[in-house]
Amino acid sequence: MEKILIETSGVRSEILVGASMETVAGMLPESGVVVVTDENVNRLYGSRFPSFPVLTVTPGEGSKQMDGIEHLAGKLLELGIDRSGFILGIGGGVVCDIAGFLSSIYMRGIRCGYVSSSLLSQVDASTGGKTGVNVGSTKNTLGTIRQPEFVICDPAMLLTLPDEEYLSGLAELIKTAIIGDKELFEIIDRSYKEIMKRDFDLLTLLVTRSVTFKASVVQEDEFENGLRRILNFGHTFGHAIELQELVKHGFAVAAGMELATLFSFEKGLITSEENEGIINMLNKFGLLRKYDISGDRIRQLILHDKKKTGRDINFIFTEGIGKATVLKISIEEITDFYNRFRKNKKYL
């Protein structure tokens, strides 16, 4: 088991990678705890949950709406949860978003922690304190930054993930490697068979490296005023593709990373070899899927991006595998690039 600490603003968050989900029993208060999970996770693991009331949501982004948060808050009131209460989220990224957001606003904030059940959540969503709910179909428009007291990442839980969910999380792992860990990129590149077999020891190593990097970024820039922006590599186009095509987050981000990589190459920030290396990896794991979105529609979707300031956006480029940079560019320049890409891309 690996322990990674995030200490920000006087708050200490502990991430345990390789611990079993049963470890959580010794990390909770004796009373006042409510478990938030989804129907799938409850069906698979409910018998192993700690003995506290369980609130379930429907799997998927559709549950990340304010009316759902209000419903859950009402249930907390019915259970008598007060300001000394504790919310335990057991699930993937959606559950962590919901549980974290609810804990941050219920009675102006109560404690929370997560047992992270998906690869996407273990390498990204459950670490760093970001929470979010959607406004209509626009992702994470409402949200807070609130560090959980702990996150348990049990690689054994990844064995029950459907293949598409597992691969979706792999995209975020590759993102971390591209922006901040060249050695991680190399490990992923030479470990295709072990990754696809979901080798426990390898997954523990990969998740640990990803969380360690993200923790270092979050400790330096908790509220995304600078460095933390690099964690959004691939997300400007990715969120637009996810919204339009209704694909899983990781596949949309993979498409966004392809675009961001090609954009970086066009600007002379990376070599041809680096460009090909990144895109070949995305292809090797089957992460690049077909989509067809017009330039006008991409532009409309990007106008809702949280990184936008006026007519510009903080766009994340790669300067080589293991290094990223943020440049403020106009939405028109982004759209022009996308139109050139769309014209030349054969599989669209």
Do 154 and 214 have their domain in common? no
- At 211-254, the pLDDT tens digits run 999 999 999 999 999 999 999 999 999 999 998 998 999 999 99
**Domain identity same for 136 and 265:** no
Our count of domains for the chain comes to 2
In 127-230, beta strands by DSSP E: 133-135, 138-142, 150-153
Same domain, 233 and 113: no
Claim to verify: residue 134 and residue 277 sit in the same structural domain: no
Q: Tell me, what CATH number does 261's domain have?
A: 1.20.1090.10
Residue 149 and residue 68 share a domain? yes
Tokens of 84: 């000394």
Residue with tokens 């859950």: 72
Q: Do residues 147 and 239 share a domain?
A: no
Same domain, 152 and 212: no
b/e string for 52-63 if b means 16 or more Cβ within 10 A? eeebbbebebeb
- Assess whether 137 and 213 both reside in one domain: no
- How many residues are given for the chain? 348
Q: Is residue 189 part of a domain?
A: no
15 and 137 in a common domain: yes
Residue 11: predicted pLDDT: 84
* 129 in the same domain as 25: yes
| pLDDT at 57 (0 to 100) | 98
Residue 307 has pLDDT above 80, yes or no: no
Q: Are residues 146 and 235 in the same domain?
A: no
CA gap 254, 179 in Å, rounded: 13
Q: Supply φ then ψ for residue 319, to 5 degrees.
A: -105, 20
Rg (CA), the chain: 20
3-state helix, strand, coil in the chain (%, to 5): 55, 20, 25
CA angle 134, 16, 157 (to 5 degrees): 70
- pTM score, two decimals? 0.94
Range of the domain at 263: 208-344
